[in-house]
């Protein structure tokens, strides 16, 4: 657990080439199959990313979720280096130690809450010990997780 936390802390300590911009590692388009069948972005701001992602649509058209969105409205987020698909399926272990992290195609500069919410919805999220461990070593974003669940319940993506 401490080893993985150290790796995540190292990723978070990297300075983004363009603070606030949501983009892939190389500054180009991002890949995340839950969002769209094709690459998306880059976006000049987290607000632009959230607009693409469907935040405004869901807020406007789904009154049952408005209170959830209002909890996170106005929060300022940093863009941080994010693996994007961190889970037990992408962590190589040997003798109880992490020897590698694979599957970096979804990595990029994303909102600081992204790794947290993606971990919950990704493969391995049904393993209680994984989620409990991840929740202890990551900064927690429970309100953003609820908003993510709200957005995922509505099909608004290309």
C-alpha to C-alpha distance for 24 and 105, rounded to whole angstroms: 9
Q: Say which CATH number the domain at 146 has.
A: 3.90.1200.10
| Residue 119 placed within a domain | yes
The whole domain housing 135 covers 2-152
DSSP 43: B
pLDDT single digits (tens) 81-94: 999 989 888 999 99
pLDDT single digits (tens) 40-65: 999 999 999 999 988 999 999 999 99
| Residue 157 placed within a domain | no
Lowest mean pLDDT among 29-33, 73-77, 99-103: 29-33
Domain count, the chain: 1
DSSP 88: G
C-alpha to C-alpha distance for 121 and 13, rounded to whole angstroms: 24
pLDDT band at 158 (very low <50, low <70, confident <90, very high): very low
| Residue 90 placed within a domain | yes
């Amino acid at each position: 657990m401490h080893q993985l936390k150290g790796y995540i802390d190292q990723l978070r300590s990297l300075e983004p080439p363009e603070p606030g911009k949501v983009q892939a590692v190389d500054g180009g388009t991002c890949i995340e199959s839950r969002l769209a069948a094709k690459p998306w972005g880059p976006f000049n701001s987290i607000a632009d990313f959230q607009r693409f992602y469907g935040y405004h649509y869901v807020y406007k058209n789904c009154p049952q979720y408005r209170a959830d969105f209002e909890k996170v409205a106005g929060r300022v987020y940093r863009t941080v280096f994010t693996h994007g698909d961190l889970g037990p399926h992408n962590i190589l272990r040997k003798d109880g130690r992490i020897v590698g992290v694979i599957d970096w195609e979804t990595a990029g500069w994303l909102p600081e809450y992204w790794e947290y919410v993606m971990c919950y919805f990704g493969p391995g999220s049904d393993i209680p010990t994984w989620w409990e461990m991840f929740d202890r070593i990551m900064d927690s974003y429970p309100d953003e997780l609820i908003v993510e669940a709200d957005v995922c319940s509505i099909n608004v993506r290309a």
